[in-house]
Amino acid sequence: MSGAWAAPARLGRVSRPVSSALAALVWLHPAPALAHGSLAIGDFYSGMLHPFLHFETLLPTLAMALWSGQLGSPHSWRLPLAFLGAVMAGTVAGILEVDLSLAATSLELSMLVLGLLVAARGKLPASLALALAFLFGLFDGQTSAYDPQAPIARPLLFIAGVGSSVGLILFHVVTRVVRYRAFWVQTGVRVMGSWIAATGLLVLALEWTGEK
């Protein structure tokens, strides 16, 4: 483990019980979500819940985290931060109903690209990787804000909720991928990337034929 990673790793050890409890709290939320709209769980928790509810937003985030972890420092903290910032910016845009997506397929495209990069352990020039992280984060955030059933009363709380969930996912996954260098763990990471890419590829084909 390189020196640059020592601090986040230590942070990971200290905060694991706390962050695990938070994560468990998030996973226990599906029951209240059943009453989405009628039973208010508050905009912060609603925002926290959102990245977990839809594979469209969860899988690109997961792939982003896996890839950042594979690349190691300094990408392992730069890319997630860029992605997280973009997710929150995208959520703002989503709430303001500014359409940033290039197409309906932007999330599937990010699943395919990021998944293939993870499966191949691909490397890109730093600036291009950052640009990709930001672009895919925007797509992801914008979709997180979209929910016709539940109007958002307090947008700032919602954005903070989305940010904390996405931040938790990124932090948990990246620290683990960086720390566990065992061959079979790294192979498992590549397999997961391959699954995400395959899912993206199938849905891209489906969307493409649907548009015709």
Choose, by CB under 8 A, the member of 1, 4, 24, 40 that binds other proteins.
24
Identified binder of other proteins from the candidate list 14, 18, 34, 39, rule CB under 8 A: 34
Identity of the residue, 82 or 136, whose beta carbon is nearer to other proteins in the bound complex: 136
DSSP structural state of residue 53: H
Q: Does 8 bind other proteins (CB under 8 A)?
A: no
The CB-of-34 to other proteins minimum distance in angstroms stands at 4
Q: Which of 210, 207, 211, 194 is nearest to 59 (CA)?
A: 194
Q: How far apart are CA 87 and CA 79, in angstroms?
A: 12
Note whether 157 binds other proteins by CB under 8 A: no
Q: Which is nearer to other proteins, 154 or 181 (CB)?
A: 181
Burial of 183 (0-12, 13-18, 19+ CB in 10 A): exposed
**Could you give phi then psi for residue 86, rounded to 5 degrees?**
-70, -35
Stretch that binds other proteins, among 40-48, 66-74, 128-136, 190-198 (CB under 8 A): 190-198
Residue in this structure with the two tokens 């990021």, named with its chain if needed = 114
Q: How many residues interact with other proteins (rule CB under 8 A)?
A: 45
User: Nearest approach, Cβ of 126 to other proteins (angstroms)?
Assistant: 25
Q: What distance in Å separates the CA atoms of residue 84 and residue 62, rounded to the nearest whole number?
A: 12
Non-local (6+) Cβ contacts of 14 within 8 A are none
Q: Please choose, from the candidates 5, 96, 87, the residue with its C-alpha nearest in 3D space to the C-alpha of residue 47.
A: 87
Q: Which of 14, 18, 31, 39 binds other proteins (CB under 8 A)?
A: 31
Contact call for residue 53 and other proteins (CB under 8 A): yes
Where do contacts with other proteins occur on this chain (CB under 8 A)? Answer: 20, 23-24, 27-31, 33-34, 36, 52-56, 58-59, 107-108, 116, 119, 176, 180, 182-185, 187, 190-191, 193-195, 197-199, 201-203, 205-207, 209-210
